[in-house]
Amino acid sequence: MIGHLLAVSLLLPALTANGCPEKCKCVQSTVICRGRRTIPDDFPEKSRILDLRKNYFPTISSRAFTKQSSLAHWTILPGKLERFFLELFKFVLSLHHRVQNIFLNQNELETFPNDLFSHMENLEKLNIEHNKITTLVPEMFRELTHLDELEIKGNPFGCNCDLKPFTNFISARFSLKEMPSATCEHPAQLKSMNIIEGVSLANCEETIVPNFDLLGESFRTKPSDITVSFGSPVFFPCSADGSVSWTKNGVVINASDRVNIISTGLEIPKVVFSDSGEYTCSVRSSEGKLTASGSLKVHSWPVLLSQNNQKLEKYLGGTIIAICKFVSNPRATVTWLKDGKRVTRSKRVKITGTVDGFAVESTLKVYRAGQKEAGIYTCNARNPDGYASAQITVIMKKPVKPVILSSTVDISFKSGDTVEIPCDVFGDPLPSMWISKDQKKIISGGRYSVLEKKLVIYDAREDDSGLYICNGRNYAGRESKPVEVLFTKNTSANRIADRIHDFGLIGGRDVEQIVLTASLNVRRAVNQTIARLKKDSATPEVPVRTLFALAKFPTRPGLKKAVAAEIFEETVRLALQNLEPSKFDPDAEVKKVANHLTEQDINDLRELAGCDEHQLVPNCEENMCFHKKFRSIDGTCNNLDNPLWGSATTPLKRLLIPIYENDFNEPVGWNDINYGSKPLPSSREVSLVLLKGHSWEPDPDFSGMLMQWGQFLDHDITLTAMSPSSTHFGRNTLCRDECTNAAPCFPIRKSTQETDRLHHDEIQHGCLLIPSHVASKLTQLHLLSTPQMYTGPTWRLHEINPHWTGEEKYLETRKIIGAIIQKVTYNEWLPKILGEDGMKKLGNYTGYNPRENPSVTNVFATAAFRFGHSLIKPVVKRLDENLQPHSVYGDLPLYKAFFNPYQLFKRGGIDPIIRGLVFTGSKDKRIELNGPMNPQLIERLFESSDRVALDLGALNIQRGRDHALPFYSDWRKHCGLAPVSDWSDLENDFENEVVEKMKSLYASVEYIELFPALVLEKTIHGTRTGPTLQCLLVDQFRKLRSGDRFWYQRPGEFSPAQLREIEKITLGQIFCENGDDISKMSTNVFLMSAPQVPCEHLIEQDSLDLEKWTETCEHKIIVQ
């Protein structure tokens, strides 16, 4: 009797039964049976998947699976497989030689019969992980000629000589990256060592004892006769007392790339026909020379080397080229059939062949193919011992004449501009595209670059104007469309030149020369930065600073805007630098830009620098069918009246007037001036005095996932690119090599408390933009970047709506995942951060408001949403499946985790980290007296051997200065809180010790900076925020929701049934479905007090039922 739970999942062919069996549920192609004691006999006709988990089968008839002769996939899920069932399993397998995948992992199997998988030559994947297997033998796998994946880890292997034949086998059979991974359990000195290394240390020559009774005098093992197919692995065992040598047909065999001679025998990983013959193992002993032989026969019938069941799509009038390749001995004769009739040669039909040893390749070509050439072509190979064939299905398609999609609107340009002439050509097949001018084809070179859909002219001149022709051609014909390119005078340059001349420009230099110099300074610095990053990233050990810089470097659209912004600011700097000295106020501490350049001057300089050309508003009308249904990848056209609202690579929105020391672009602290009675302290000093903690306590209420989800959201909606240059403009020195405030560098001075070393972090000063890959709400949680999150729903949607295109399935999946992220954020995460009081202020969703701008604000991205840094623990907790500290890998110090994916992929995987985040508390930020940030963030951020580590607190403060954020007192007024004008006004919202520390740093309460104040405010009861922080968070999250046309709760975005499915999803259920081996989970992953339940419960209760997305009428999505 088998008294345990048996779980079986079978992928079946289409069956012919009528109704759904008793105690079974039939959904689409899936049959799910629960609580049965016998395996059902009948299934609906369309059944493909039979799920028999959670049934109780006292015994299983040997005839139970005989009807399923096309069985292709077998899974035995975790349970106890006893020996009785294993023998039955062996019998059932013998009926299903076409099985491709077998999973026997997580059972209690100790041994396998050597012939368990005999006749299973189609088996491609075998998983026997996490059983109680102590040894394996090669004989078990000899006939598995197609085996690509063998999973064996988690078994208590004994690394002794009994295991050596198996380790020799896998070493020869698999490449290094495909090698099965497993470790020794005993002996103790080899525990946790890879089995191949462990067995190599065993003294096998001393431990093997000959068995004279069984194997003959002096031989331990002897070769025997073997018959295999072409390409299979072969192993002749032979071990004896004395020196062993090998011959084949009397000729000595030496080890080579194809033949491995080891202490236990001779192995050929992939046999060829010429390997056939008599193999003799010889050993010299005291009685003379002893030999033992075995013959090798390689099947001689044809074997297909090329792909079978190919599908070729060809265009009417084109050429069909079909190729098949076989190997056999003797060589095969190849013939071609079409729809069962032999193909004969003609003027349009050519059949050619090439011979390479025993391989024959045959090529069929049909020229000027028409519709009658469509059909099934069969390539047959035959020799005296047998035959093989391959099928190729040919589909003929009608070509589509080229259509030019790009606009014919005239293009105007000024001298020195970069001109882009569009030439977007569509057709089937894809047409060749070219652009001509004056009846001459333009090719790439010099100032011209011909790209896939446009011609780019750099540094355009007046003679570049004229009529350009966009051309496209394919099988179906040719199409052309003209574009007029016109030259216009640079009126902005003339106007600003006159203005600069009026207030006195040294030497009378032309303003265009100033812009050119600024452009050269910036582009030279950017190119040097890119070259240095490429060079550093090519080293064997890439510096951590390089990885950090690469992670923050702007994407291509953002880079163009950032470079234009830097050129603009550098132009203004050079213009002011060239003012005559008599135009300055000698008593002024700072050169105020507004005193010398008007608003019109600034706008003109911005135009000359190229800023305006990168801020073009998209035309949403061009693809309205798409924009009405789906969010664009960069967020444009969310708001149809204001297409750039909330989109990528656009400036962050300001709520208050920025504070610059020169009223233009120099941050506070840039010049050595006083704020009150003294200058602002170094951001490093503020970090050490106000932010650095010395110990930490876990939050008793909220888990570490509270911090991690916030970090995920932060990188999704607020990630800003740094300046593209880390080199001074105008000179070749690196920002990190000096302490001068000069664009784009804004170095952090060391604290007055630091005398033993230089702390030299830097912020690259300048334009900061949201990168394009952040605008979409699809960024996956860093700890859940698994393909299943997309491929699972996409595949299910494919089954439900087979008429959808691949793009439609992707867009619907993307929309569903975006909705889940919104639901988790606003229903599970935000209530823990804002508390009941904050959620009341946020209010319920009242619908889409097209007048609400959802763009991320400067203060939110730069200060408010960085409050999560106060929740980060100094250690990454790793828990095992019993939610105990991981006995093998243990906890990971935070500073060792930065840019160190090895810790994730090679030391336990993702599951222990997820458990550590869910089942241990985050850092309790309410203990302000100790400092809100753990010391590893202050002293060891991105620590590396060659550079001083960074200080995250100082970086946050310096970033706030660079973004020109007003001081804390201004934000209190903005939020309607009680104003502060004296130190005593802080008593209600800050601890007394914190106020005293602030007094030591700032001359007045009005100059307290925002970020440290936000994380040091006393938290409101039931929240993790103070009053000012709560105000800023509520404001941003309300705008993100009400200003989003694709908000998941908006009527019409999802059907009521679909919305109910999304609302029931929890983050815990997502962890269960996407983790590698997570068996239990919290019902609320953010709450420490939430109950723990088996994952099966969450998956059954909360899984998304995609049947609600079944579409009865076909539709067509016009993809952007």
Question: Which residue in this structure is represented by tokens 């595209």?
Answer: 433
For residues 232 and 303, give the distance between their C-alpha atoms in angstroms, rounded to a whole number: 12
Contact 681, 1012 (CB under 8 A): no
Read off φ and ψ for residue 116, nearest 5 degrees.
-60, -40
212-298 and 303-397 in the same fold: yes
State the pLDDT at residue 1029. Answer: 96
CA distance linking residue 5 with residue 977, whole number of Å: 63
Q: Provide φ and ψ at 110, rounded to 5°.
A: -105, -35
Alpha-carbon separation of residue 774 from 646, 754, 780, 920, 948 (angstroms): 11, 38, 11, 29, 30
DSSP label at residue 231: T
Phi (first) and psi of residue 262, to 5 degrees: -125, 175
Topology of the domain covering 683-721+768-1082: Myeloperoxidase, subunit C (1.10.640)
- Rounded to the nearest 10 degrees, how much is the dihedral formed by the CA atoms of 690, 691, 696, 702? 120
Helices and strands (H and E) in the chain: how many: 29, 47
Q: How many CA atoms lie within 13 A of 888 on its CB side?
A: 14
SS3 letters across 421-451: EECCEEEECCCEEEEEECCEECCCECCEEEC
Q: Which tokens go with 71?
A: 């069985």
Residues 6+ apart with CB under 8 A from 583: 503, 504, 596
Distance CA 1070, CA 1099 (A): 8
For residues 523 and 563, the answer to whether their CB atoms sit within 8 Å is: yes
| pLDDT value for 614 | 54
What residue spans of 927-1052 are helical by DSSP H?
A: 935-939, 952-962, 968-974, 992-1001, 1010-1016, 1027-1042
Question: Kind and range of the H or E element at 204?
Answer: helix 204-207
Q: What is the mean pLDDT of each run of 10 residues along the chain (1120 residues)?
A: 30 43 77 73 65 56 43 38 49 56 75 74 81 86 78 89 83 63 83 80 51 49 84 87 86 88 90 88 76 86 86 88 88 91 90 87 92 94 85 91 82 85 89 88 87 90 87 87 76 52 45 79 84 79 70 74 83 74 54 71 73 68 87 91 87 90 85 89 91 85 92 84 77 76 77 46 39 29 48 77 88 92 95 94 95 94 90 87 86 72 71 91 71 79 57 89 94 95 93 93 95 94 93 97 96 93 91 86 92 87 85 47
| CA–CA separation, 248 and 630 (whole Å) | 68
At residue 696, the pLDDT reads: 81
Domain 8-207 in CATH: superfamily? Ribonuclease Inhibitor (3.80.10.10)
What is the edge-to-edge ordering of all strands in the sheet holding 277-285? 226-228, 288-298, 277-285, 244-248, 251-252
Q: Residue 1042 gets which letter from DSSP?
A: H
The count of C-alpha atoms lying within 13 angstroms of the C-alpha of 266, restricted to the half-sphere facing its C-beta, is 29
d(CA 534, CA 622): 39
The DSSP 8-state label assigned to residue 179 in this structure reads P
pLDDT at 1119: 38
Q: How far apart are CA 831 and CA 823, in angstroms?
A: 12
1048, 1054 Cβ separation under 8 angstroms: yes
Contacts of 900 (CB under 8 A, 6+ apart): none
Collapsing DSSP to helix, strand or coil, 381 comes out as strand
Q: Which residue has the tokens 């230089």?
A: 758
How far is it, in rounded angstroms, from Cα 650 to Cα 618? 13
Question: Distance of CA 1011 to CAs 665, 683, 868, 998, Å?
Answer: 20, 11, 11, 13
Please identify which residue in the block is written with the tokens 């080890």: 255
Residue 616 CA to residue 318 CA, distance in Å, equals 42
Fill in the amino acid letter for 339: D
pLDDT for the residue numbered 489: 58
One-letter amino acid of 54:
K
Tell me the pTM. Answer: 0.56
Token readout for 49 is 């998947």
Q: Answer positive or negative: Cα dihedral of 530, 535, 536, 540.
A: positive
Say if residues 225 and 234 touch (Cβ distance below 8 Å): no
Beta strand pairing call for 73-76 and 386-397: unpaired
- Is 974 annotated in a binding site? The answer is no
Given a contact cutoff of 8 angstroms between Cβ atoms, the answer to whether 1012 and 1000 are in contact is no
User: What confidence score (pLDDT) does residue 1047 get?
Assistant: 96
E-state strands within 695-750? 698-703, 745-747
As assigned by CATH, the class of the 303-397 domain is mainly beta
Domain 400-487 sits in which CATH superfamily? Answer: Immunoglobulins (2.60.40.10)
What is the number of residues in the chain?
Answer: 1120
In the chain the first and final C-alpha atoms are separated, in Å, by 61
Cβ-in-10-Å burial (0-12, 13-18, 19+) of 221 comes to buried
**Tokens 């003929």 appear where?**
396
Tokens encoding 298: 């390689």
Residue in the structure block whose two tokens are 């001995």: 329
Residue 224: phi and psi, rounded to 5, are -135, 175
Distance CA 325, CA 302 (A): 10
Q: Which two tokens stand for residue 1043?
A: 């200003």
**Residue 366 β-bridge partners:** 320, 349
Taking the C-alpha atoms of residue 915 and residue 912, their distance in angstroms, rounded to an integer, is 5
Distance CA 350, CA 348 (A): 7
The answer to whether the CB of 98 falls within 8 A of the CB of 67 is: no
> What ranges do the domains of the chain cover?
8-207, 212-298, 303-397, 400-487, 683-721+768-1082
Residue 770 vs residues 227, 717, 720, 734: alpha-carbon distances, Å: 65, 8, 5, 25
Helix, strand and coil in the chain, % to nearest 5: 30, 20, 45
CATH placement of domain 212-298: 2.60.40.10
**Are the beta carbons of 918 and 1085 closer than 8 angstroms?**
yes
DSSP state of 692: B
What CA–CA distance (Å, rounded) separates 185 from 1059? 50
Distance, in Å, from the CA atom of 253 to the CA atom of 686, rounded to the nearest integer, reads 76
Specify whether the CB–CB gap between 63 and 92 falls below 8 A. no
**3-state helix/strand/coil string of 843-864:** CCCCCCCCCCCCCCEHHHHHCH
Residue 507: per-residue pLDDT: 38
DSSP 914-928: HHHHHHSEEE-TT-G
Distance CA 695, CA 244 (A): 67
Question: What sign has the CA pseudo-torsion 614, 619, 625, 631?
Answer: positive
The Cα–Cα gap between 313 and 394 comes to 6
Does residue 187 have a cis bond before it (omega within 30 degrees)? yes
